């Protein structure tokens, strides 16, 4: 088949000729690839709308695993005739996933239930259908992949269940089920039940927009956890680089810093939905980037309590999301990779050297992996920022664009930044002064 064919899986007509068996399986693999790719693009819209950090972390993990599924499906599919060389997703699949995103005002747990109680079970069913209809020896490479993905899907269902146990999503689930039934399942392997004439696609009535701020659930919030005032915030900028600061204090502050990489999780998540026509490899690397930032946040989230910090006293900073969501996707990505991450290396290098004084192997390990990951993220920026710029018609040289974006961010920070008041009083919240006491200084 010609490499110019964009949707080789769009027809459900059985293949014919001497390569019919291969072509049939390639068609199904293509459908599975498109579903996994669209899941990644849209499930990420839940991350900044749900409030529980543990749920955000889990969604990031599932998004990364879905990206891995899609990548392996694409690579295997390209070994078979008629999979096609393009990465386009057919409109019928994209439309249903876009509908699942819902509206800004809908309960994010109800929307999460839609993904996990309707769309992902249908994907699991599609994977099982593939195993049923393929030859286990002739198609052994695909079979082994699909068996692993089935195990992942079953685990995802178990992992998400506790977060949805108290959520009544029956109405929304029925709404999505009707749209899915109209396709006859993701691989058109089931009897199709056409939509009623009265069915209303909500995303055509109310297109989704990112919320102006992200959700942090029960946790207290503020504009920023950084300042020069130890009575105001937990991270005192000058203390991080002052050789006279006790290493135990720096360790506590850097764990707060790591936990606050949750803001990177939230604003990076917004870019997937806004770039539907990006190369899949861009989304794949962003999914890895997202999962890395999630792990970094977990470093702080899990270590701070071990050092005596009550997480309910740690305010979550919202400024970066609140500012960046006002900017287009390529500018968000430029600030993240070419400014925030690239600019953090000198300070983090000093921090790493100081913490080594404590002979804390766990802290050393976490910071080493954080640095390694951040170096990869800057490489991602150099690789993908020019392509993302092209998606939005940006023709300036990359360096010129980055400098202009940095200036725009400063202007937007004056408008949209510093708008989140402290949720806790100085007596209630973690501050630099309290970190001194916790560290025994």
User: Is 383 part of a structural domain of the chain?
Assistant: yes
Please tell me whether residues 198 and 88 are part of one structural domain.
Answer: yes
Name residue, tokens 């055509």: 204
Contact 434, 248 (CB under 8 A): no
Residues 149 and 65 in one domain: yes
- Residue 222's SS3 state is strand
Cα three-residue angle 30-272-325, rounded to 5 degrees: 170
Report if pTM > 0.85.
Answer: yes
End-to-end CA distance of the chain: 71
User: Cβ–Cβ contacts within 10 Å for residue 185, how many?
Assistant: 17
| Residue 15, domain member (yes or no) | no
Same structural domain for residues 178 and 120?
yes
On whether both 259 and 341 belong to a single domain, the answer is yes
Residue 427 CA to residue 246 CA, distance in Å, equals: 23
Q: Please state, in angstroms and rounded to a whole number, the distance separating the CA atoms of residues 352 and 96.
A: 47
* 83 half-sphere exposure, CB direction, 13 A CA radius: 20
pLDDT at 9 over 80: no
pLDDT digit string (tens) for 62-95? Answer: 999 999 999 999 999 999 988 998 999 999 999 9
Q: How far is CA 213 from CA 40, 50, 263, 313, 319, in A?
A: 22, 12, 11, 21, 9
pLDDT (tens digit per residue) in 351-374? 999 999 999 999 999 999 999 999
Cα 267 from Cα 393, distance rounded (Å): 22
Residue 288 lies in a domain: yes
Q: Is residue 5 situated within a structural domain?
A: no
- Domain check: are 40 and 96 in the same one? yes
Tell me the C-alpha distance between 75 and 64, whole Å: 17
Predicted pLDDT at 8: 41
Average pLDDT taken over every residue of the chain: 95
Q: Which of 156, 178, 205 is the last residue of a domain?
A: 205
Is 11 part of any domain?
no
Give residue-wise pLDDT tens across range 226-239.
999 999 999 999 99
Q: Is the model's pLDDT at 332 over the cut of 50?
A: yes
Please report the pLDDT score of residue 16 as a whole number.
60
d(CA 373, CA 354) in angstroms, rounded, equals: 20
Q: In this predicted model, what pLDDT tens digit does every residue of 170-221 receive, in sequence order?
A: 999 999 999 999 999 999 999 999 999 999 999 999 999 999 999 999 999 9
Whole-number pLDDT of residue 13? 46
**Where does residue 347 fall: left (phi above 0), alpha (psi -120 to 50 degrees), or beta otherwise?**
alpha
pLDDT of 4 > 70? The answer is no
Separation of alpha carbons 366 and 258, rounded Å: 10
- Tell me the percentage of the chain whose pLDDT exceeds 90: 93
Structure tokens at 432: 């630099």
Given pLDDT bands bounded at 50, 70 and 90, which one contains residue 19? confident
Sign of CA dihedral 65, 67, 70, 74: negative
Q: Is the pLDDT score of 383 beyond 50?
A: yes
Which residues are paired to 317 by β-bridges?
222
149 shares its domain with 282:
no
Domain of 354 in residue numbering reads as 221-438
Give dist(CA 304, CA 302) in Å, integer.
6
CA angle at residue 127 from 126 to 128, to 5 degrees?
90
Both 33 and 64 in one domain: the answer is yes
41 & 183 share domain: yes
Instruction: Give the total number of structural domains in the chain.
Output: 2
pLDDT for res 20:
85
Residue where a domain stops, chosen among 205, 239, 259? 205
**129 and 76 housed in the same domain:** yes
Is residue 164 within 8 Å of 113, Cβ to Cβ? yes
Q: pLDDT confidence of 18, banded at 50, 70, 90?
A: confident
Domain boundary among 158, 175, 205: 205
Stated as kind and residue range, the H or E segment containing 227 is strand 226-227
> Who's near 158: CB < 8 A, 6+ residues apart?
none
pLDDT at residue 10, as a whole number? 40
Task: Mean pLDDT check: name the lowest of 10-24, 41-55, 242-256, 382-396.
Answer: 10-24
Q: Which residue has tokens 């498109």?
A: 34
To the nearest 10 degrees (0 to 180), the angle between helices 53-77 and 20-43 is 160
Burial class (CB in 10 A: 0-12, 13-18, 19+), 111: buried
Nearest to 329 by CA among 35, 44, 19: 44
Q: Kindly state whether residue 262 falls inside one of the protein's structural domains.
A: yes
- d(Cα 403, Cα 369) in Å, to the nearest integer? 29
Q: Give the pLDDT confidence score for residue 14 in this predicted structure.
A: 54
**Who contacts 359 (Cβ-Cβ below 8 Å, separation ≥6)?**
none
pLDDT at position 7 is 42
CA distance 96 to 118: 11
CATH number at residue 93: 1.20.1260.10
Residues 174 and 249 in one domain: no
Kindly state whether residue 1 falls inside one of the protein's structural domains.
no
Q: Is the dihedral of CA 342, 339, 230, 433 positive or negative?
A: negative
Which residue has tokens 């049939």?
A: 24
The mean pLDDT of 38-46, rounded to a whole number, is 98
Q: Are residues 273 and 178 in the same domain?
A: no
Does 215 fall in a domain? no
pLDDT at 17: 77
- Angle of the 91-101 helix axis to the 20-43 helix axis, nearest 10: 20
Judged against a pLDDT cut of 60, whether residue 5 lies above it is answered with no
Residues 133 and 237 in one domain: no
């Amino acid at each position: 088949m010609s490499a110019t064919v964009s949707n080789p899986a769009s027809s459900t007509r059985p293949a014919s000729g001497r390569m019919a068996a291969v072509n049939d399986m390639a068609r199904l693999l293509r459908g599975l690839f498109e579903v996994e790719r669209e899941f990644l693009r849209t499930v990420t819209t839940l991350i900044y709308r749900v409030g529980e950090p543990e749920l955000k972390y889990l969604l990031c993990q599932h998004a990364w695993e879905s990206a891995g599924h899609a990548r392996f499906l694409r690579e295997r599919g390209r070994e078979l005739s008629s999979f096609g060389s393009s990465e386009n997703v057919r409109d019928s699949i994209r439309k249903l996933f876009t509908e699942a995103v819902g509206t800004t005002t809908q309960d994010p747990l109800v929307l999460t239930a839609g993904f996990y109680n309707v769309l992902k079970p249908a994907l699991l069913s599609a994977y099982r259908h593939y195993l049923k209809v393929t030859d286990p020896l002739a198609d052994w490479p695909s079979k082994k992949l699909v068996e692993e993905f089935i195990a992942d899907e079953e685990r995802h269902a178990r992992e998400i269940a506790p977060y949805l146990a108290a959520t009544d999503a029956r109405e929304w689930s029925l709404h999505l089920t009707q749209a899915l039934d109209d396709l006859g399942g993701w691989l058109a392997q089931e009897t199709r039940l056409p939509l009623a004439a009265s069915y209303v696609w909500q995303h055509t009535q109310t297109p989704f927009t990112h919320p102006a701020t992200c959700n942090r659930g029960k946790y207290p919030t503020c504009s920023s956890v950084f300042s020069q005032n130890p009575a105001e915030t937990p991270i005192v900028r000058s203390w991080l680089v002052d050789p006279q600061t006790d290493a135990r204090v720096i360790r506590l502050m850097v764990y707060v810093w790591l936990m606050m990489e949750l803001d990177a999780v939230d604003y990076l998540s917004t870019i997937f939905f806004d770039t539907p026509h990006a190369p899949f490899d861009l989304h794949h690397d962003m999914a890895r980037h997202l999962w890395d930032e999630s792990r970094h946040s977990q470093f702080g989230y899990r270590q701070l309590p071990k050092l005596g910090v009550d997480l309910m006293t740690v305010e979550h900073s919202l400024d970066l999301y609140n500012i960046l969501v006002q900017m287009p996707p390529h500018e968000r990505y430029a600030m993240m990779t070419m400014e925030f991450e690239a600019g953090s290396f000198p300070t983090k290098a000093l921090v790493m050297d100081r913490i080594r004084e404590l002979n804390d192997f766990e802290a050393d390990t976490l910071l080493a992996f954080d640095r390694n990951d951040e170096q990869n993220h800057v490489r991602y920026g150099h690789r993908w920022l020019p392509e993302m710029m092209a998606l939005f018609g940006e023709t300036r040289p990359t360096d010129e664009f980055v400098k202009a974006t940095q200036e725009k961010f400063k202007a937007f920070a004056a408008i949209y930044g510093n708008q989140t008041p402290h949720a806790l009083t100085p007596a209630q919240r973690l501050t630099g002064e309290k970190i001194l006491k916790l560290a025994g200084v």
